[in-house]
Amino acid sequence: MSQSLKNQTALITGSGRGIGKAIALAFANEGANLILVARTESQLRDTEREIVEAGGRAAVVIADLTDKDQVARMAEEVEQQSEQIDILFNNAGGGIEKSHVADSDPDLWILDVNVNLATAYLVTHAILPMMMARGGKIINTGSGMGHSPGPGSSAYHVGKAGMWMLTQCLAEEVWEHGITVNELIPGPVATDLTAGRMTVGGPPPFAPSEYVKGPEDVVSLAMW
């Protein structure tokens, strides 16, 4: 194990699978203490087990991050687990309503936006008090789809566009506390959420000139 993140604590949402899991394992390998947060306990326990078996340290907190009451309870548990959060990685998200606006389900559309935007706001709002005295880093997983329009999946576009603006506004508010805020845009990645549509090394369905990465390929961006 390297020790470049020794004595630091990282909280990563959506860390039970995909990009979040890959980054959690990498941060642990660099010596960080991990707090793993998501709503699916079995997946988080798998990530925790891999970290511990490799000699790292991890704690699990179960929460539906679209629910502000559960986020508040999550923050209380986090404070019991650790006196500090040095890195907050808002990675929870996903595409739910992929229809055109005229054909979309309003409930699913709103849920999609909340999963990709409100979760980051709620978690950041809850965890910031632990970070403002010490400083630290906040990383938000964004998407190129949040920076460009396209037919279908408007809720995902809108949610990630909101994430982009939240990142910029927050950065302006907390820099004097020694906190940097950045958006990580991984590009097309093969995960459970994109299974059947993307294969590592092949082109994504929406951009034949690009290639699909695996979750581990995003780690170097997060480490930087």
**Which amino acid appears at position 49 of this protein?**
R
Which residues, including other chains, have CB under 8 Å from residue 159's CB and lie 6 or more apart? 93, 112, 113, 114, 115, 116, 117, 146
Q: Running DSSP on this structure, what letter comes out for residue 214?
A: P
211 catalytic residue (yes or no): no
219: three-class secondary structure by DSSP: helix
Fill in the amino acid letter for 96: I
Paired tokens of 210? 């690009």
Residues contacting 214, CB < 8 A, separation 6+: 22, 189, 190, 200
DSSP state, residue 187 = -
Burial 72-85 (b: 16+ CB within 10 A, else e): eebbebbeebbeeb
H or E element, residue 137: strand 136-141
Nearest to 96 by CA among 87, 88, 104: 104
Q: Which of 120, 156, 198, 212 is catalytic?
A: 156
Helix (H, G, I), strand (E, B) or coil at 138: strand
How far is 114 from 64, CA to CA, in rounded Å? 11
Which residues have a catalytic role annotated?
156
